[in-house]
Structure 1
């Protein structure tokens, strides 16, 4: 595997302050958070969220930030209204393995396909950039192919197989955390070799002193985390502005 399966670090994090500006709408009956730009650039960003789903303040705020850069940004519910329950997990009453079994490619891929189809054929966007955090990174990688996503950025990925990464055909940028039990140094090096062999545009930025989840759920009161979170967002925007 190019990254290990999700673990406890995938559900740790800090709720960020702010008021989301978007709205919950439907794409093919799928609840989706829409963040619309004041000055659209004609392209869209599809955020594949983490185990908390789209009704989560942090991912909605970051969708708003992408929209402020000119991108129509959507965060669909990839989990059929069944996000991880943090209280049950921390209380030892949540079976993460069983939950993952309910949310595998057989259930997630059809939702992603429907959203991509809607963006391309109903909303007529000129290109689609994929963003994936942790759990969602796997599904960004699975859809980074012809006639699906045009470019992608993933942060602290989990559950990505080497076969999935080897199958991409479009540019990929990765934000990695130094302290990560899932996207380890060894997995990062493995991913780098796979990407180099593909001869596609790629980028892997390593952020020192931060842990898995920093790009979406980091404690922004810590200077090092705030710096890494801000730079990782800029990494994504710069990558998209160049490659879309």
Structure 2
């Protein structure tokens, strides 16, 4: 596997503060958070696949707003159909993570993602599309970057992935950027190196950036009052923007 299965660290984190600028609307047949760039252009788009907390977590909306501020029409699909995992869930409070995973596996959530990708291209006129995936969302970036779905997304960015496999990596047919945490039981050094070994033998552009002094979830749920976490979060976001500026905005 290129990353380990989910655990409690996937739902740990800090809610961020801010006022989302987008709206909730139907994209295809499912709800999604959508936000436009200042010029209202939909030529370049980003689909943001969320982690266990889903599209309703304010952190996700604020990240989408930031991508829009950098010129990308951005959507976050309701991948889990409102059944989002509570933030900072802990075992024993009545929530069963394993049962949740069984209900929201790729066979169930995959068609939702496919419908939103299709609607962005056909209904909103997106010509080039990037995919962003945090934690569990990384799986769906890889699936839509695969050669079998090459009309899905044109470039991908994933941060601290979980539940991905070596086969997922081997199947991609487009540029992939990865942001990794120094401390991450789900994407530890062994899995990073395994992923690197796979990618270096492939003919796709790739990037793996490692951030010190941060843990799993740092790119979207870090404590921004901690200067080292704040720096890593902001730099990982710029990593994504630079990647998409190169592989989405450029012809």
Give the TM-score range, shorter chain.
Answer: over 0.9
Q: CA deviation at 1:88?
A: 5.7
**How far apart are the structure 1 equivalents of 2:42 and 2:32?**
20
The one of 184, 205, 224 equivalent to 2:188 is 184
SS of the counterpart of 1:59?
helix
The TM-score normalised by the length of structure 1 is 0.97
Aligned residues: 244
Q: CA deviation at 1:29?
A: 2.8
SS of the counterpart of 1:159?
coil
RMSD between aligned residues: 1.2
**How far apart are the structure 1 equivalents of 2:141 and 2:47?**
9
Q: Which runs of 5+ in 1 are unaligned?
A: none
**How far apart are the structure 2 equivalents of 1:54 and 1:85?**
12
Deviates more, 1:41-50 or 1:65-74: 41-50
Contact 1:48 1:78 in 2 (8 A): yes
**How far apart are the structure 1 equivalents of 2:82 and 2:107?**
16
Q: CA deviation at 1:69?
A: 0.3
Contact 1:89 1:95 in 2 (8 A): no
Deviates more, 1:81-90 or 1:190-199: 81-90
The one of 214, 223, 230 equivalent to 2:227 is 223
Matches within 5 A, 1:51-90: 51-86=52-87, 89-90=90-91
SS of the counterpart of 1:4?
coil
**How far apart are the structure 1 equivalents of 2:171 and 2:51?**
22
Q: CA deviation at 1:70?
A: 0.6
SS of the counterpart of 2:21?
coil
Matches within 5 A, 1:189-208: 189-208=193-212
Matches within 5 A, 1:130-209: 130-145=131-146, 146-209=150-213
The TM-score normalised by the length of structure 2 is 0.94
Matches within 5 A, 1:21-40: 21-39=21-39, 40=41
Q: Which runs of 5+ in 2 are unaligned?
A: none
Q: CA deviation at 1:89?
A: 3.7
Cα pair distance change 1:21/1:204, threshold 3 Å: same
SS of the counterpart of 2:13?
coil
SS of the counterpart of 2:46?
strand
Q: CA deviation at 1:93?
A: 2.0
